[in-house]
Structure 1
Amino acid sequence: MSKKINRKETTKDRRKWILTILVWSILISSSISLLSDSLLSKVNMLVAFIVLAFIIIAGIIFDIVGIAVTTADETPFHAMAAKKIHGAKIAIRLLRNADKVSTFCNDVVGDIAGIISGSVGFFIAQKVTHNFTNINFTGVNVAIGAIVASITICGKSIGKTYALENNSIIVSKVSKLLYLIVKDR
């Protein structure tokens, strides 16, 4: 009987987590999309490319964090927590919730960055063909899409290797950054 109660609690917790991720996904994607659309309509192509680069880099960084948290070992962070090193307790919480951290970093932020970078690339293609009327929109759009995709894929590939080799260092740095931001220490 106790297994059924635990299973129900687990199912309830999963549903709550899925609802939380759904809300975060909607908030983050709509905020970034609104910000990038309103910002891009008023800027030149150079700034649009900088915004695009920022979105791609953010997706890669969050992917690195998600992989590092998923693969890091919790043991050294217990020693750090015993020595009262800032961020060690946060690192332990991140590692104990690696599935949720990975979902947020890799899936929510990473996927949103991929989608938004695609729409920003489309917007840049429109600007290019508007400024240079003799250029074919389809060709420019395909070229920019291919460049965005290849940079993202290569960046994430390099990032995954880096995260696997330096997972404890990355988790330590992220937890120290969160220590500065989060009030619950």
Structure 2
Amino acid sequence: MKSHLQKSIKFSISIAVITFVLAAIFSVISSSVLGEVAWVFGLIIVLVIVLMGVFFDMLGIAATAADEVPFHAMAAEKVSGSKHAILIVRNADRFASFCNDVIGDISGIVSGTASAIVVLQIATGFGYPEGTSFQIIISVILTSLVAALTVGGKAIGKYFAIHSSTSIIFFAGKIIAFIEDKFKIKVLPQDKK
């Protein structure tokens, strides 16, 4: 029991550090990119950030809902990505934590910050100074839209994650296998079974 607690604490600390670094990187990139583009493209960037959060949330839930058994048959036939899919399912708690909590939550935070930048661009683009009622109205509308897209998207993603978990995790396994083969980057831990 003590070793499980130590592993959990170690994982929690490492995931917190990874989150800090990724949040800083995403925030700097989105802020610098948004500062250089027109507000229309800013809206598109915000939408992409929201969709990224929805996609990774769906991946995390699919990992916890998936069953390992179908991937064993594929692995026996040496189907690319099947061994990685098995690793995802066996490490579903960590995979889901990374996808849902790290990427999903960072996307939510960064989309909020990006929305604020876009609101300022819209207000100043139409000649309204900061703090006017026009800016407040645009801020409320955009914030509500981002929240609705995030929550609604995640609700749809959860449906697909639960009902199509095998194909979603197989797709993720194929992508991870491709990354590990082509770029020689170890994404998933080695299977010790």
Both proteins in one fold, TM over 0.5: yes
Q: Which residue of 2 aligns with 1:116?
A: 110
Q: Which residue of 1 aligns with 2:53?
A: 59
Matches for 1:8-87 after TM superposition, within 5 Å:
8-87=2-81
Matches for 1:121-140 after TM superposition, within 5 Å:
121-134=115-128, 136-140=134-138
Q: Which residue of 2 aligns with 1:4?
A: none
Structure 2 distance, partners of 1:148, 1:12, is: 38
Range 130-139 or range 55-64, more displaced = 130-139
Name the aligned partner's letter for residue 142 of structure 1: V
Q: What is the CA distance between 1:70 and its match in structure 2?
A: 0.6
Structure 2 distance, partners of 1:171, 1:179, is: 12
Structure 2 distance, partners of 1:171, 1:35, is: 29
Is 1:103 matched with 2:97? Answer: yes
Q: What is the CA distance between 1:47 and its match in structure 2?
A: 1.5
Name the aligned partner's letter for residue 149 of structure 2: I
Structure 2 distance, partners of 1:48, 1:176, is: 32
RMSD: 1.3
Structure 2 distance, partners of 1:8, 1:101, is: 22
Q: What is the CA distance between 1:133 and its match in structure 2?
A: 3.0
Structure 2 distance, partners of 1:174, 1:18, is: 23
Name the aligned partner's letter for residue 166 of structure 1: S
Q: Which residue of 1 aligns with 2:153?
A: 155
Structure 2 distance, partners of 1:10, 1:162, is: 32
Structure 1 distance, partners of 2:51, 2:134, is: 28
Q: Mind listing any 5+ residue stretches in structure 2 that lack a counterpart?
A: none
Structure 1 distance, partners of 2:161, 2:24, is: 29
Which contiguous aligned blocks of 4+ residues in structure 1 show a shift greater than 3 angstroms? none
Listed one character per residue, the Cα deviations across residues 41-80 of structure 1 (whole Å, up to 9, x for unaligned) are: 1111121112111101100110110111110110011111
Structure 1 distance, partners of 2:164, 2:2, is: 38
Q: What is the CA distance between 1:19 and its match in structure 2?
A: 1.2
Tell me the number of residue pairs that the alignment of Structure 1 and Structure 2 aligns: 179
SS in 1 for 2:75: helix
Name the aligned partner's letter for residue 128 of structure 1: I
Identity score, percent? 36
SS in 2 for 1:34: helix
Q: What is the CA distance between 1:8 and its match in structure 2?
A: 2.0
TM-score between both structures, scaled by the size of structure 1: 0.93
SS in 2 for 1:41: helix
